[in-house]
Structures are given as C-alpha cells and as structure tokens.
Amino acid sequence: MMSKALEHLHALMTQSLVAWRLTGTVHGTNDGAILISCQGHNIRIEQAPPHLPFQWFVIIDNRRRPAISLVAVLRQVRSVLDPGYATMRARIAPLALVTT
C-alpha cells in the first residue's frame, strides 16, 4: 500500500506526462517507490528517510539525486524526458520606486 504522499506523487507524475504531451507509464512499486517509463528511460522516485534534509530521491540511469521538493522532482524528470524544454527560473529583486 502506498502512502498518501506517494499516491499524490503518482497522480502528479501521471498528469505531468499528459501536460508535457509525453507517452509513458507511471507505476507504484512493491517497495513503495514510483517508476516512470517514458522515452526509453526508467526513472525511479523514492521518499528519502526522515533524517535527511531533502524529501525525495530521483534515480535516473543508476544515478541517485536528491530533490528537496516536488518542484525539484518535476524539474529533474522533465529535463530527462524532454531535453528540448528550456527551464525558466523566476528571479525577484527589488527595484527603485518610480514616481511620475
């Protein structure tokens, strides 16, 4: 049985593939991870143990990467499945007040 967090992650990843217009599958594993098969890649997402400073591990091509948030998980997965996607990062900086 999957935890609530993994159930939500499963649904999020399934809908993300649809939104990204990619054909693939998302499955829960017997050991409590999520496995994404798409574009010839197998990506495994696991919850990190509670004592670590991040929440998830994303395993791509036998390389285990930490992810601090679901946003980081999505970024890592999409960068592998859709290499032509240009990531954008918002930068917020103070500007001088303009008066008229």
Q: What residues does each domain of the chain span?
A: 4-81
- The model's pLDDT over 13-37, given as tens digits with 9 standing for 90+, comes to 999 999 999 999 999 998 889 999 9
**pLDDT for 84:** 80
Spatial separation of the C-alpha atoms in residues 45 and 8, rounded to whole Å:
13
Strand ranges, E, within 1-100:
24-28, 34-38, 41-47, 56-60, 63-67
Q: Three-class SS of residue 30?
A: coil
**pLDDT for 10:** 93
Spatial separation of the C-alpha atoms in residues 74 and 21, rounded to whole Å:
14
- Count CB atoms within 10 A of the CB of residue 56: 22
Would you state the structure tokens that stand for residue 99, as one six-digit string? 């008066």
**pLDDT for 100:** 65
> Which residues of the chain fall below pLDDT 70?
1-2, 88-93, 95-98, 100
